[in-house]
Amino acid sequence: MLNMFRMDLRRLFRTKSLYICTIVLMAVVIIASVAVNAVCKYGSVWDIQDMLSGFSGDNELTTEIDGGYSPSLADAAMLEAAKVKLRSFMTLQVLASAPFMTRLSYMLISLVCVLYVSKDYITAYLKNLLMIPHAKTKWLISKILMLLVIIIFMYLGITLASLIGQLILGNPFPDDFMPLISYMAKTLVSAISFGLFNIFMVVLLQKRSGAIVICLLTSFNIQGIIYMLIDTAKLLPFKLSHYGFMLLTYKVNLHDPLPDKLLPVAGVIAGLSLLLSFVLIRRRDLKM
Amino acid sequence: MANLIETTGLSKRYGKKYAVKDVNMHVEKGSIYGLIGRNGAGKTTIMKCINRQIVPTGGDIMLDGIKLTRQKKIRVGALVESPSLYEDTSAMQNLLYKCTALGIKDKKMHASNLLEMLELSKVKDKKVKQFSLGMKQRLGLAMAMVGHPEVLMLDEPINGMDPQGIAAIREMLVHVNKKLGTTIIISSHILDELSKFASVYGIIKEGELISEFTRETLESESFSSITIVSPHIDDVISALSEKTPVNRDMLIKPNTLLIKNGAQLHKDISRLLFDRGIYLEEFRVDHLSLEEYFMRLTGGGEIA
């Protein structure tokens, strides 16, 4: 098992998509930092207010500026105060939340995972490993561990980009990483569950293109439309959309605790994906 | 010798159609087993079942007396259908990945030796996507041989190779078989080539194993004809008519007799002619080729 893991680890760090997708995520954070910095330098109070509401998602912070502001009273001091407010608001965790708020991180993590896992199917390299006892099970466990490595790698990339963002904004080097860790832990639930679901899709379809399409569609929550239809038709005694995994994932934010239903829903998806993946890999023929 | 691989009633069904049905195959330890059959006969399906690539619908596969699913000691290296390689990676790297997965300690040395054995040392750092079909096939063979498996299963391994390459692979397989005692199961549509080194043959037709025979059996059962050339052909006919029905109609030239039936009596015939002191210019016993024998058993048709 350890040998299989070693092989996968060796190969993963030679996978271009891992670096490309991590760079994309980092770019989102850095571009956000540059944009904030530009607004701080050249923007008006209104621009700052828009940006704050965009990042925070609530009006509490913006009303603080709004409170003492009127266009007629606008002066340099007020603008300066707003700039300080915006810079101080742009903490490590706020910057790190940018790719999660845009839902890009879940999609890219799963995309890398699908590209990596499906490669053994499209090249049929998995055939070479079948001489190892319990090869298929070990292969799958190793791929699940790779999902965790991918997540850690990309999260580290986002953290690094956030630190760079702090430098761009001229903020002091953060001394408390706990809020960031706490936020990332919340997003981890969805990232792992979604990743496992996508591994299951690869094992089920044994095809890269199909798995990528499903990965993209589900990450954009296309299934939400189907839930809405089912709910409208009242086919179920409860509202399915209340349990939609992606909808719940979208509700994860910096300030609130994890949505109530997310943990059980993510758990069910992860558990079912794991169970079915193991059954399928052992019982089904490899179409290669 | 004990069977290293034995299948009992091995079957694989896709929907209602059987790809392989009730196959009882016996592969002796240390043998080179040639699997012969027409396109779609079921050779690859059998190999895939033994390679754990597909799950049989019925029957058992025993590997060294233990069920395939429980066997942990005997390793099967396989090149079934096309070679499975990471195309955007070098030949060396492809081998190193597998070496790592198998936990081979001196993996660089092991991979280098395999590349050298298959004459790929010069292109070891070249990406596989730049390889020719024959080179890929050789690398696929090297992949199958990583870790020196006890069983080597090769499905059309000489596809796309030039004549020198084919001869080199043949020599290499015989070497591996003799030196390391590797049991080899091989299918090829070049029966002439297969007949040069396989020790046992299995003929599969429409998913069923219709015959299993050794090289010795092939040699002893596949006499096709005796050609006798003598200036005293009438004396030959007269002497032989006591043993086997011969007449002048069997003359293909004025002094050449061709006996098609009763070729298995070649020893008796040569002794009789020798005892009678009849001078012979030529006495030749012809055998059926593996291909002709295959045709006879299967009723003709396209091979592999």
In whole angstroms, what is the distance from residue B14 CA to residue A279 CA? 19
Q: How many domains does chain A have?
A: 1
- Torsion, CA B23, CA B1, CA B156, CA B102, rounded to 10: 100
Domain assignment of residue B131, yes or no = yes
Domain extent, residue B262, equals 224-287
Tell me what pLDDT residue B191 has: 80
Tell me what pLDDT residue B71 has: 81
- Distance linking the first and last C-alpha atoms of chain B: 28
Domain assignment of residue B302, yes or no = yes
Nearest to A262 by CA among A211, A169, A192: A192
Q: How far is CA B147 from the centre of its chain?
A: 23
Residues of B with CB under 8 A from a CB of A: 48, 51-55, 71-72, 75-78, 80, 82, 84-87, 89, 96-98, 100-103, 143-144, 146-147, 149
Are the C-beta atoms of A189 and A258 separated by less than 8 Å? Answer: yes
Cβ B101–A127 below 8 Å, yes or no?
no
Tell me what pLDDT residue B144 has: 93
Is pLDDT at A67 greater than 60 in this prediction? no
Q: How many domains does chain B have?
A: 3
Cβ A10–B76 below 8 Å, yes or no?
no
The pair of three-digit structure tokens given for residue A151, joined into one six-digit string: 């997540």
Is pLDDT at A218 greater than 70 in this prediction? yes
Is pLDDT at B301 greater than 70 in this prediction? no
Smallest Cβ–Cβ distance between B101 and the set A14, A129, A136 belongs to: A129
What secondary structure does DSSP assign to B138-162, as a single string? Answer: HHHHHHHTTT--SEEEEESTTTT--
Nearest to B182 by CA among B74, B62, B95: B74
Does one domain contain both B6 and B39? Answer: yes
Chain A residues in contact with B54 by the CB 8 A cut-off are 285-286
Q: Is A185 on the interface with B (CB under 8 A)?
A: no
In whole angstroms, what is the distance from residue A282 CA to residue B61 CA? 17
Domain extent, residue A134, equals 2-28+94-283
Sort A188 into a burial class: Cβ within 10 Å, 0-12 / 13-18 / 19+: middle
- pTM of the full structure: 0.81
For the segment B180-189, the average pLDDT, to the nearest whole number, is 89
Q: Is A35 on the interface with B (CB under 8 A)?
A: no
Does one domain contain both B108 and B6? Answer: no
Domain assignment of residue B301, yes or no = yes
For residue B59, the domain's CATH number is: 3.40.50.300
Using pLDDT thresholds of 50, 70 and 90, give the confidence band for residue A287.
Answer: confident
Quick count: other Cβ atoms within 10 Å of Cβ A241? Answer: 18
- Distance linking the first and last C-alpha atoms of chain A: 23
Using pLDDT thresholds of 50, 70 and 90, give the confidence band for residue A131.
Answer: confident
Domain assignment of residue B81, yes or no = no
Nearest CA in chain A to B96: A7
For the segment B155-171, the average pLDDT, to the nearest whole number, is 83
Task: Report the phi/psi class of residue B59: left, alpha or beta, with left for phi > 0 and alpha for psi in -120 to 50.
Answer: left
Tell me what pLDDT residue B119 has: 86
Cβ A124–B82 below 8 Å, yes or no?
yes
Tell me what pLDDT residue A141 has: 94
In whole angstroms, what is the distance from residue B177 CA to residue B150 CA? 10
Domain assignment of residue A255, yes or no = yes
Tell me what pLDDT residue A65 has: 52
Tell me what pLDDT residue B49 has: 92
Does one domain contain both B203 and B228? Answer: no
The domain boundary residue, chosen from B118, B145, B172: B145
